[in-house]
């Protein structure tokens, strides 16, 4: 990749007014350039990882703000270069003047993600760890933060490095045999090679299988709230969100479009989607909303089917005919029997019918009263169980990045071909090629093998100061 050796600067704290704003400066001349606008102890003589109180002054020696400058000398810094972080008061004017002053002194305003990109280029982190930096910043729940922190610490990368080393050994042994093909020397038994290849395939496939759950945790697990009109879906959404997000009315067809909002339950972020009630209608707009409801069932990780316990078994049957065929094996079904506190509620008949409807489907059934807020904690526990996040071990490596997932799928395919070739006794040069291809795909994740276009795309999604 192309790297410049100039010194870059940017505000690293969020835009706007705050108590403190931090400007980051990185490059071979970072300390020298900051010293030009610094009044206080000379930063050129400061030890690494030390903070100093002083004043930022302009070319006319006019004070801009009192500040704290923290010095990090390369390579023991975030970027691997000399870095100075300047903490000033969070005034917009102070931030603007500080950056303008640094630019006039000789710095260049950083591109999006350029600090992290330099950290990658200088070997401070690999590409998977660099991408995890953005995930940590964007994390909106404890579960998402835990996964991102694990990746940023290098847990995922260490697993890939182990696989890389095993693959390299495989390829080396096979290619060494090719060099001595005339002597018919076998440096490793095919059975041993096959065992190693199968182990690699198992690990790669297992990592790829975590993507659906990992991505859902990262973005918020999508939960489609479905059911017939007036079943209490919007009331339930408002109760879960602890605010009047959806309009509640006794008029059938009040909700005509999907309404989405998120809330953290336990350690996990859930993305709730309130949908139009299911019923027969001649209203064109409402019918369109019902079509969207059926589509949201397909898109959801969890389907939360809200049933009116007072509506009778016929209504449940009608809703089931629309909902059940849309469910896939990967989806989880949670059924909330609502209005159980109503005098006309027939919970026994409802439960009996649901037992027959869900006979071949794994479903969690909870009795609630959305209006009264009864047993909502039981429903929340059911949602956590359906998400599967309560079963994920603390040390479980989860894949949350679509680019990583695609590379893992391709790696699994190529190592599977190598296994087939080893089993069939095919020539080692063909097997070595499949193993090299597997190495290539895994290398794309960590950045051992990459392109300028990929790097530009990845780091353009970062904020300027990171």
Query: Which residue has better confidence, 126 or 458?
Result: 126
CATH class of this structure's domain 132-210+399-447: mainly alpha
The confidence score (pLDDT) of residue 15 equals: 81
Q: List, by residue range, all CATH 3.30.1360.120 domains of the chain.
A: 8-126
Homologous superfamily in CATH for domain 8-126: Probable tRNA modification gtpase trme; domain 1 (3.30.1360.120)
The confidence score (pLDDT) of residue 361 equals: 81
For residue 221, how far is the Cα from the chain centroid?
11
Q: List, by residue range, all CATH 1.20.120.430 domains of the chain.
A: 132-210+399-447
Q: What is the pTM of this model?
A: 0.76
Q: What 3-state DSSP class applies to 87?
A: strand
User: Tell me: the pLDDT tens digits for 421-448?
Assistant: 888 888 777 888 898 899 999 999 988 7
Query: Which residue has better confidence, 342 or 181?
Result: 342
User: Tell me: the pLDDT tens digits for 327-340?
Assistant: 888 889 999 999 99
The alpha-carbon radius of gyration of the chain (Å, integer) is 29
Residue 292 pLDDT > 70: no
CB 30 within 8 A of CB 38: no
The CATH T-level fold of domain 220-391 is Rossmann fold (3.40.50)
Best-predicted range by mean pLDDT (203-212, 238-247, 267-276): 203-212
The confidence score (pLDDT) of residue 315 equals: 83
Rounded mean pLDDT, 360-376: 90
Question: What residues does 260 pair with on adjacent strands?
Answer: 273
What crossing angle do the helices spanning 347-357 and 313-323 adopt, rounded to 10°? 30
**Which residue has 């089917």 as its token pair?**
305
Query: Which residue has better confidence, 410 or 5?
Result: 410
**Which residue has 């400066």 as its token pair?**
25
Rounded mean pLDDT, 292-301: 71
**Which residue has 């018919």 as its token pair?**
184
**Which residue has 């964007």 as its token pair?**
138
Tell me the pairing of strands 83-90 and 63-72. antiparallel
Longest alpha-carbon distance in the chain: 89
Peptide bond into 75 cis (omega under 30): yes
Determine the Cα–Cα distance for residues 30 and 8; give it in Å rounded to an integer: 8
Query: Which residue has better confidence, 47 or 235?
Result: 47
Residues 6 or more apart in contact with residue 384 via CB below 8 angstroms: 265, 266, 268, 390
User: DSSP label at 446?
Assistant: H
The confidence score (pLDDT) of residue 243 equals: 66
Rounded mean pLDDT, 294-300: 72
User: Tell me: the pLDDT tens digits for 43-78?
Assistant: 999 999 999 999 999 999 999 999 999 999 999 999
Q: List, by residue range, all CATH 3.40.50.300 domains of the chain.
A: 220-391
> Which own/partner pairs from 309-315 qualify as long-range (CB within 8 Å, at least 24 positions apart)?
309/337, 309/338, 309/339, 309/340, 309/342, 309/345, 309/346, 309/347, 309/350, 309/367, 310/339, 310/342, 310/344, 310/345, 310/346, 311/228, 311/231, 312/346, 313/349, 313/350, 313/353, 315/228
């Amino acid at each position: 990749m192309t790297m410049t050796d100039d010194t870059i600067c940017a505000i690293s704290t969020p835009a706007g007014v705050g108590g403190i704003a931090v400007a980051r400066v990185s490059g071979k001349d970072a300390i020298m350039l900051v010293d030009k606008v610094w009044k206080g102890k000379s930063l050129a003589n400061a030890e690494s990882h030390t903070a100093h109180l002083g004043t930022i002054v302009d070319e006319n020696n006019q004070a801009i703000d009192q500040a704290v400058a923290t010095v990090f000398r390369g390579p023991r810094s975030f970027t691997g270069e000399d870095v100075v972080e300047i903490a000033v008061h969070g005034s917009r004017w102070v931030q603007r003047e500080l950056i303008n002053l640094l630019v006039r002194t000789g710095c260049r305003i950083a591109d999006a993600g350029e600090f992290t990109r330099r950290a990658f280029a200088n070997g401070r982190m690999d590409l998977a760890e660099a991408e995890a930096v953005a995930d940590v910043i964007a994390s909106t729940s404890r579960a998402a933060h835990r996964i991102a922190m694990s990746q940023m610490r290098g847990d995922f990368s260490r697993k890939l490095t182990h696989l890389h080393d095993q693959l390299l050994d495989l390829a080396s042994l096979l290619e060494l045999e090719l060099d001595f093909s005339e002597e018919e020397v076998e440096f490793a038994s095919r059975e041993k090679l096959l065992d190693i290849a199968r182990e690699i395939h198992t690990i790669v496939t297992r990592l790829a299988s975590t993507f659906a759950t990992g991505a859902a945790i990262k973005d918020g697990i999508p939960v489609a709230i479905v059911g017939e009109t007036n079943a209490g879906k919007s009331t339930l959404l408002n109760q879960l969100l602890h605010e009047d997000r959806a309009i509640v009315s006794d008029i059938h067809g009040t909700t005509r479009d999907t309404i989405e909002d998120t809330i953290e339950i336990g350690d996990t972020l859930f993305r709730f989607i309130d949908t139009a009630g299911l019923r027969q209608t001649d209203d064109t707009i409402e019918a369109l909303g019902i079509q969207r409801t059926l589509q949201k069932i397909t898109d959801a990780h969890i389907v939360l089917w809200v049933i009116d316990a007072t509506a009778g078994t016929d209504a449940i049957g009608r809703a089931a005919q629309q909902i059940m065929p849309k469910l896939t094996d990967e989806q989880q079904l949670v059924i909330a029997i609502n209005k159980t506190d109503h005098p006309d509620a027939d919970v026994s008949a409802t439960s009996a019918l649901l037992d027959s409807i869900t006979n071949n489907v794994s479903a969690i059934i909870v009795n609630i009263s959305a209006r009264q807020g009864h047993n909502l904690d039981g429903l929340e526990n059911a949602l956590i169980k359906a998400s599967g996040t309560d079963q994920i071990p603390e040390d479980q490596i989860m894949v949350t990045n679509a680019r990583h997932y695609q590379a893992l799928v391709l790696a699994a395919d190529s190592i599977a071909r190598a296994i087939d070739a080893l089993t069939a006794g095919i020539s080692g040069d063909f097997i070595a090629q499949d193993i090299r291809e597997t190495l290539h795909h895994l290398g794309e994740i960590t950045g051992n093998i990459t392109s300028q276009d990929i790097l530009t795309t990845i780091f353009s999604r970062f904020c300027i100061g990171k």
